[in-house]
Structure 1
Amino acid sequence: MSLRIAPDRLRDLALHADRAREGWGVPGCAVGIVHDDKVLFSAGFGHRRLGENAGMTPHTLFPIASATKSFTAMSLALLVEEGRLDWDIPLQQYWPAFRLFDPIATERITVRDILCHRSGLPRHDLVWYNTILTREQLLERVSYLEPTIDFRHSYQYQNLLYTAAGHLVERLSGMTWENFVKERILTKLGMNHSYFRVEDARHAGPIALPYMWKAGRVTEVPFLNNEAIGPAGSMISCVEDMIKWLTFQHRGVLPDGQPLVGQQLLSEMHQPQLVSSPQTPYPEIPFVCSALGWFVKRYRGHNMIFHPGNLQGFTSFVSFLPEQKLGIVVLSQVDQSRLPVALTYEIYDRLLDLAPLDWHGRLKQEVQAEAKKMEEQLQNFKKSINSMDDHDHPLSSRQYGRYEGTYHHPGYGIVSIAHTENSLQMKMLNNRLTFRLTQTARHTFFARYDDTYSLHIPLSFQTDQEGGIVGFAAKLEPAEKAKEIRFTRM
């Protein structure tokens, strides 16, 4: 389908995008639009850091978070092209030591299963968040994480298994995943300003600073070190480079006109594999499917291939309409921001000459609904503390000692609980996270973490016949059907 874009459809876009950025409370963002091989728009808005004058440009670096997954899928596609890998042969044939909790899934899971998120395993993000473990050490823990749905039954997003997919690239190629992506993909596309480590990006050029909403205002937070799960979300790039990635996706060839992979294989990566959202709140988007390293949906009658990215301090949205050879990338600060997706939809509406929709208003209603739900959860948390039975009084200092000690789960690692001043604290040693424990009933507490994300996790201690503490159980995985994670006292 040929698309002709009238110049006036981009009129005042810069002004509109900057106003939208301010309306969402985002310090800075960058936007790129490409049609076929022509860059229609490329600009940055706002500032890299609040209170400083350094502005955003198309060259400003941003962590792209889970948009990295499309590069991991392409890495595997290159191995498929060379005959070293088959999407549908069980992973164990290439990696005999690989294990999942479910023995049937262990024997049958394939690369295709991993890339479209149908393993049955929920996120278990607290296993890898801020971890000090290596990639290999992290993947050894996957076999101790329980699934919540049957293998291949339905969609369930998973970062750890994308890390395993990247590690498979390493095993088959003899190169690190990072070097493979750089040598086999980035260099060939001329993406010379994309990186895998925050330290490298900070030395290479201007990088946006991470921000989160905390206590009703945008607050700078530390960069998250997620190198261990690199294939799932560690890449750092800029609008200039991501435009080259989108151009390749809809044209199917490198800048010199040569293919990177066969057209049939590239098309297969863009095909729906599994319904991820059978319905959405908006009639213009009737459903969403997972593909191989991408998602696919119908947007107002047009086929859209996309991947969002969200990481501590940042949000991205990378998308293209293959029939129109039209792509948009929006990179922004502030994690879990709706700015990138709202801007993307409104720009597509402009370029396709569709009746305008108030996507910013719609998505702000979503945010308000989520904030209300979180506030209700917080109030329930406070009520749990205030409604302790008369015989359950807050612990005295000497009573804290019975809970102090070191606890272990083979997937989540070692946790220490210690008495500090007038409270108990729980430290997840492999993640360097500290939770404050607040008593709600006998042997029952809420573990609260508020340094970056706000986590309120119910926790209950178990005793033996003599009343000694032998372990505890905590709802560390929030998926609805997930069991409590049980730690044993060491």
Structure 2
Amino acid sequence: AGSINSSVNDMTNWLKVWISGGFYKGKEILPTDYVRQAASSQMVMEAALPAKHDDVFLANYGLGWMIGSYRGHYSVEHGGNINGFSANVAFFPSDKLGIVVLTNQNGSKVPTLVTNSIADVMLKLKLIDWNGEATAETMEANKAKKEVKKLPVIQNTSPSHPLKDYVGSFENPAYGIFNVRLEDNALHTVFGDEKILLKHMYYDVFDPKSIDKNGVADTAQSNVIFNFYSGVDGKINSIVIFLDGSEKPVVFDLKPEIKTLSLKILENLVGDYMMGQTPVKVYLKGNVLFVSVPGQPEYETVVVDETTFDLKILKGFSVKFENPEKGKVNELTFIQPNGTFK
């Protein structure tokens, strides 16, 4: 949830409700049973041994609250971020203590640092320099970013496809869509307002170079690389991007271009086929081609070209119609990640 308009005073009263078991000024606002359940662990988020501080550990999830053990005290809290603002709301039910920190900083650590610092004072704990620790961690992270990991250089290689085959829209559920286009015999893309040249490194690996307002590409080596992948049909179907030198790649899948075929062409593909000893039925619903195999759900298809169709819900699976005889197709091939079947 986000964009809740509130104030420190309002949020303080809200915490009083939780600390008092659901009551505010003697009036029940929330059922006591619900308060106890919401502030109790419902699922495990982090159950590892203590890390940096021996007395700060566990991170479970209640009902909209994060539950933990903070230096010997039962803590219930939840932070939040939205463009331009960061917040943290916490309470210690056994200690009758509540803390609200609101900031006008985006993605800020301040709410957590201030919450911990106030808790240490109010709970009469030995003080920890939370701000100093956060500053040191930030400096270390910035130092690591500057230490560019050298990427291998493999000489005398070429892309596996003509550059035009790398063009298309690529999508990741978390990061969204970006487009790769061919311009001046080179691949380009755009991230936000930043224009990027994809400079070939080796094979299907490209190095993104920022282009300034004068059209000049950056010459510094990036920690980010673009690695194009092909499917079993030999066509480019995804880009794997290693962000900031991370060993965990982010996969962007090629978003199929929506194509349509005439009803006459589609009707020519309808019929009963055999895949080995297995019967396969191909039929139309409106102007959409479906494939059915006994014992499996029907598969809606997406047009790739006049003879090739992807199975919509199965990534990497497609069917290809072959051997036209007197205008009528009589053979069907299934193309799957584990092989090709007729």
Which category of TM-score, normalised to the shorter sequence, fits these structures?
0.5 to 0.7
Equivalent in the alignment of 2:200: 439
Structure 1 residue matching 2:138: 3-state secondary structure: helix
Write the distance in 2 (CA, Å) between the matches of 1:413 and 1:355.
Answer: 46
Matched AA of 1:268 = Q
Write the distance in 2 (CA, Å) between the matches of 1:438 and 1:304.
Answer: 51
Equivalent in the alignment of 2:181: 418
Q: How many percent identity over aligned positions?
A: 26
Write the distance in 1 (CA, Å) between the matches of 2:140 and 2:206.
Answer: 27
Post-superposition CA distance 1:372-424 (Å, at most 9, x none) = 34334xx12xx32xx43221479xxxx75442233467887654212457863
Structure 2 residue matching 1:281: 3-state secondary structure: coil
Write the distance in 1 (CA, Å) between the matches of 2:130 and 2:17.
Answer: 28
Q: Residue 400 and residue 326 in structure 1: after superposition, are their counterparts in 2 closer, same or farther (change >3 A)?
A: same
Asked if residue 272 in structure 1 is aligned to residue 41 in structure 2, the reply is yes
CA drift at 1:320: 0.8
Equivalent in the alignment of 2:31: 262
Q: Is the 8 A contact 1:476 1:485 kept in 2?
A: no
Matched AA of 1:291 = G
Equivalent in the alignment of 1:375: 146
**Higher-helix-fraction structure:** 1
Equivalent in the alignment of 2:71: 300
Matched AA of 1:318 = V
Aligned ranges for residues 466-477 of structure 1 at < 5 Å? 469-475=235-241
Asked if residue 366 in structure 1 is aligned to residue 143 in structure 2, the reply is no
CA drift at 1:324: 1.9
Pairing partner for 1:460 from 204, 210, 227: 227
Write the distance in 1 (CA, Å) between the matches of 2:165 and 2:74.
Answer: 59
Q: Residue 486 and residue 316 in structure 1: after superposition, are their counterparts in 2 closer, same or farther (change >3 A)?
A: same
Post-superposition CA distance 1:322-342 (Å, at most 9, x none) = 112211111223334332222
Q: Residue 314 and residue 355 in structure 1: after superposition, are their counterparts in 2 closer, same or farther (change >3 A)?
A: same
Equivalent in the alignment of 2:80: 309
Matched AA of 1:444 = V
Write the distance in 1 (CA, Å) between the matches of 2:66 and 2:232.
Answer: 52
Asked if residue 235 in structure 1 is aligned to residue 4 in structure 2, the reply is yes
Q: Residue 388 and residue 253 in structure 1: after superposition, are their counterparts in 2 closer, same or farther (change >3 A)?
A: same
Asked if residue 486 in structure 1 is aligned to residue 247 in structure 2, the reply is no
Structure 1 residue matching 2:57: 3-state secondary structure: coil
Structure 1 residue matching 2:128: 3-state secondary structure: coil
Pairing partner for 1:390 from 152, 155, 163: 155
- Larger RCO: Structure 1 or Structure 2 (Cα < 8 Å, ≥ 6 residues apart)? 1
Write the distance in 2 (CA, Å) between the matches of 1:411 and 1:363.
Answer: 27
Structure 2 residue matching 1:303: 3-state secondary structure: strand
Write the distance in 2 (CA, Å) between the matches of 1:339 and 1:361.
Answer: 12
Count of matched residue pairs = 242
Equivalent in the alignment of 2:331: none
Q: Which runs of 5+ in 2 are unaligned?
A: 212-221, 258-342
Equivalent in the alignment of 1:319: 90
Asked if residue 250 in structure 1 is aligned to residue 16 in structure 2, the reply is no
Write the distance in 2 (CA, Å) between the matches of 1:369 and 1:283.
Answer: 22
Aligned ranges for residues 200-219 of structure 1 at < 5 Å? none
**Higher-strand-fraction structure:** 2
Residues 272-281 or 241-250, more deviating: 272-281
Q: Is the 8 A contact 1:457 1:474 kept in 2?
A: no
* RMSD, aligned α-carbons: 4.0
Equivalent in the alignment of 2:59: 288
CA drift at 1:267: 0.8
Matched AA of 2:41 = P
Q: Residue 315 and residue 375 in structure 1: after superposition, are their counterparts in 2 closer, same or farther (change >3 A)?
A: farther
Structure 1 residue matching 2:254: 3-state secondary structure: strand
Bigger Rg, structure 1 or 2: 2
